[in-house]
Amino acid sequence: MGGMGEIKLKTVFRDKILRADHNNLLGSLPEDIYNATKLEEFALPLNSLNGAISERIANLANLTILDFYFNHLSGVIPINFGKLSKLKFMNFDFNSLEGSLPPSLIRCTNLLEIHLGFNYLEGDLTTLNFSKLSHLSKLDLVGNNFTGILLISLYSCKSLKAIRLSGNCYLEGKIHSEILSLESLSFLSLAHARLTNITGTMKILMGCKSLHTFFLIGSFDREAMPTDDGIVDFHSFQNLFFLSLVKCGLASQIPDWLSNLKNLEILFLGNNQITGSIPSWLGTLPKLFYVDLSLNQISGEFPKELCRLPMLQVLMPTILAVALTRHKVVNEKIVEKPGVAIWDSYNFKGFPYVFQSKNYGRVQTENPQLLPWICRWDTNLNPSHPKLNSSHFSQQSVLVQQITSTEEEKKVPYWNVMFNDVQ
């Protein structure tokens, strides 16, 4: 039974919940576990389990929660997975699963959340009709090798709040106006997808009233930055606080329509071909505290208005983080940005947060109890995991401490204009 020999299976057969988070469970899943047909919650995240998921998992027809986040599971998702028709939550993030998603997955029509990030999954996503998953609220397929056109069938999942397809470099296509039917969509991350038509994309997304995070890297290759002043009016993007268009080959100047994003806190436009000067109106955005314009062709003087940003005197959250190395880990996810740790990540519940760190850090998360966890380097986080080799871990990777009430008032704006010609 490998490392699971300590689990009293006779008890499991009678119970409805088996949860053993963050233990030292090793080896493969014992075959007897598939006889626990009364199980409704089967959760063994943050362990070192390996081997394949047996097709006998279909015997656990009462499962509503299946959580094996951060293990070493390999092989394919069983072809008969769709027999788990009561399943509401599945999380296999950070394993070594491979192959295509089984077509039967679409028969799990009660699914609320799908988390399959950072595996070796592949195949054409357009072969699956996600519209049958009418209750789906969060879809996370980050860091795999999926191909195909951006999923139009997702636009029929009216309950969707968060979509993350980043890191699937062979996904392509464009945003369609049907996305506006997702009235609750608040988080959209498509980094490294091969997208086209940035002007059309922004004009469509301005109608997503709930959108607060839009994350892109390496899309819209060599397209012009949309400059139409009418692209965003005072009623558009009013909830948007995070906008990233990094490494998209965008040309022209920083557009004036960004001045209407009054709730914008974090702006990433680095590693493009943006020209002209830094506009002084950036200093009028009342919540802006982080701007990255590095690796562009910006010139001119640094506007004095930016030194009077209202966020200069805000109170820090009760987290202080100092990033000391190039390779850092945020919630066990690799972050590679010298001197700054801010990336496309989410907390253990699967909902997005933003972490920003240079000398001081900021964490946003649904669950405040997770704050001490999010930035902590921990030897129990399987540094031998194939997706996280030893070079990504260091006892000096991220240092986190709670700050006292007397230390809470800090100046936290951050401007990065490296590799330009700003004076």
**How far does Cα 370 stand from its chain's mean position?**
16
**The pair of three-digit structure tokens given for residue 44, joined into one six-digit string:** 């063994």
- Domain contains 283: no
Residue 406 burial (10 A CB sphere; 0-12, 13-18, 19+): exposed
Q: Give, in order, the Cα–Cα distances in Å from 394 to each of 71, 337, 388, 390.
A: 20, 16, 12, 8
pLDDT tens figures, 71-84? 999 999 999 999 99
Question: For 255, phi and psi rounded to 5 degrees?
Answer: -75, 150
User: What DSSP character marks residue 40?
Assistant: S
Q: CA 307, CA 287: separation in Å to the nearest integer?
A: 13
Number of domains into which the chain is organized: 2
Residue 51 lies in a domain: yes
Position 233 scores a pLDDT of: 65
In a domain, 97, yes or no: yes
What pLDDT is attached to residue 312?
54
Q: In the beta sheet, which residues pair with residue 336? A: 327
The type of residue at 173 is G
pLDDT value at residue 420:
72
Question: Is residue 63, in this structure, part of any structural domain at all?
Answer: yes
The identity of residue 57, as a single letter, is I
What distance in Å separates the CA atoms of residue 204 and residue 220, rounded to the nearest whole number? 15
What CA–CA distance (Å, rounded) separates 104 from 33?
22
The pTM of the full predicted model, rounded to 2 decimals, is 0.77
Q: How many CB atoms lie within 10 A of CB 337?
A: 17
pLDDT band of residue 228 (cuts 50, 70, 90) is low
Whole-number Å distance between alpha carbons of 45 and 67 = 6
Question: Range of 14's domain?
Answer: 1-108
pLDDT digits (tens, 9 = 90+) for 16-26: 999 999 888 99
Sequential DSSP letters for 105-164: GGG-TT--EEE--SSEEEEEGGGS-GGG-TT--EEE--SSEEEEE--GGGGG-TT--EEE
Average pLDDT, the chain: 75
415 in a structural domain: no
- Evaluate whether residue 6 is within a structural domain: yes
- 154 located within any domain: no
Regarding beta strands 89-91 and 290-292, do their DSSP bridges make them parallel or antiparallel, or are they unpaired? unpaired
Q: Contact 371/365 with Cβ under 8 angstroms? A: yes
pLDDT in tens, 314-338: 433 322 222 222 222 333 333 333 3
Last residue of a domain, one of 83, 108, 133: 108
Would residue 28 count as lying in a domain?
yes
pLDDT band at 232 (very low <50, low <70, confident <90, very high): low
Residue located via tokens 């012009």: 224
What's the rounded Cα separation, in Å, for the pair 313 and 307?
A: 11
Residue 302's pLDDT band (cuts 50, 70, 90): confident
- For the chain, the first-to-last Cα distance in angstroms comes to 66
* CATH number reported for the structural domain that contains residue 93 in this entry: 3.80.10.10
Nearest to 136 by CA among 117, 116, 156: 156
Contact between 252 and 223 (Cβ < 8 Å): no
Q: How far apart are CA 48 and CA 20, in angstroms?
A: 12
Q: Could you give the CA distance from residue 403 to residue 175 in angstroms, rounded to a whole number?
A: 43
What percent of the chain has a predicted confidence (pLDDT) above 70?
69
Q: How far is Cα 201 from Cα 243, in angstroms, rounded to an integer? A: 13
3-state secondary structure of 223: coil
Task: Write out pLDDT tens, residues 118-171.
Answer: 999 999 999 999 999 999 999 999 999 999 999 899 999 999 999 999 999 999
What CA–CA distances, in Å, run from 191 to 215, 256, 285, 336?
A: 6, 24, 25, 15
